[in-house]
Structure 1
Amino acid sequence: MERRVTKFGNSLGLTMTDALKQIGLEQGDTVSIVVNQSTGEIIIKKSTKVTLPVGISDDFMDTLTDVIGEYDQTLRGLKDR
């Protein structure tokens, strides 16, 4: 499937309704987007809603997500030691 990048207001975007439907996405769903700059890949996954345990704040999870994103390769390397 090929699509042309177009301008939507001040943003760039593309339409891919059929592809989104194939992975079960509908309007209003939340997605996770991972960008791999070295390979030029963008991975879009449907997010699943998770209830945080008592005492774990949204801010903590946001920080944890940032740290994991920044140190992903390092953490993967540690796993294999």
Structure 2
Amino acid sequence: MSKVMGMERKVSKFGNSLGITMTDSLKKIALEVGDTVNIDVRENDGEIVIKKVKKVALPTGRSPDFLDTLSQVMEEYDETLKGLKDR
């Protein structure tokens, strides 16, 4: 079971943006400068969930263009693919 870490922070202004500092929290999930995160905004709950993106190595012979094309196709045919899953 994972440990939940609670903390309270004030929203600050950083240039034209709003932000919070949370260095200790980011260190707990091993985030470093340059890492990529997914941010889910849950408006109904007033929650923001930040998850570290797991790096995936491409199989030999596959270019990054392949993944871009695959993502576009999956997004375009999302409803169709979901329908096929339930058959």
Decide: shared fold, TM above 0.5. Answer: yes
Any stretches of 5+ residues in structure 2 without a counterpart?
1-6
Find the aligned partners of 2:17 and 2:73 in 1 and give their Cα distance: 26
Task: State the TM-score, normalizing by the size of structure 2.
Answer: 0.62
How many residue pairs get aligned? The number is 71
**CA pair 62-28 structure 1, distance change in 2 beyond 3 A:** farther
Show CA shifts across 1:17-67 (max 9, x none): 0000011111111111111111011100110123567473426526756x9
Matched, 1:17 2:23: yes
User: Partner of 2:3 in structure 1?
Assistant: none
Matches within 5 A, 1:48-67: 48-51=54-57, 54=62, 56-58=66-68, 60-61=70-71, 64=74
Structure with max Cα Rg:
2
Matches within 5 A, 1:38-77: 38-51=44-57, 54=62, 56-58=66-68, 60-61=70-71, 64=74
Find the aligned partners of 1:62 and 1:8 in 2 and give their Cα distance: 34
The runs of at least 4 consecutive aligned structure 1 residues that moved more than 6 Å come to none
Matched, 1:29 2:3: no
Any stretches of 5+ residues in structure 1 without a counterpart?
none
Coordinate RMSD, CA, aligned:
2.9
Find the aligned partners of 1:13 and 1:59 in 2 and give their Cα distance: 34
